[in-house]
Structure 1
Amino acid sequence: MDIPAMSMVLAQNNLSQAVGISVLKMAKEQMTEQGQQVVQLIERSVQPNLGGNLDISV
């Protein structure tokens, strides 16, 4: 068994996993921000009085 080589492989796997987790965390934070921005846009576009009254003349 080549212990130094196995140690290097394990270290590389740990680094790769840590990088992957960091990238996923950044993507999650970005999606959360975008979701909050969409909610703010929707809240701004809502007009509560629109459609409350209907004027009909015959």
Structure 2
Amino acid sequence: MDVAAASVVMANQQVRADASLAVMKNAKNTAEQQGQQLIEMLNQSQVPSASHPTLGKAVDIKL
């Protein structure tokens, strides 16, 4: 293999590595955004506690 061909092969490998890194960075950013949105959603959905301390602690079941 001559020097020019080796140079082309190395350049192609670098382009592939850069593209792969860009895709992984994009996936990481998306996962971080979704995690923050999930945390916000969970914080908004918290149910306030009952006014009576034993209210809702027991369930009456008739068979």
TM-score by structure 2 length?
0.77
Q: Which residue of 1 aligns with 2:18?
A: 18
Gaps of 5+ in 2: 59-63
Residue 29 of structure 2 aligns to which amino acid in structure 1?
Answer: E
Give the CA deviation at 1:42. Answer: 0.5
Gaps of 5+ in 1: none
Give the CA deviation at 1:16. Answer: 0.4
Residue 14 of structure 2 aligns to which amino acid in structure 1?
Answer: N
- Aligned residues, how many? 56
Q: Which residue of 2 aligns with 1:7?
A: 7
Give the CA deviation at 1:48. Answer: 3.6
Matched residues in 2 for 1:32 and 1:20: separation? 18
Bigger proportion of residues as helix: 1
Identity of aligned residues (%): 30
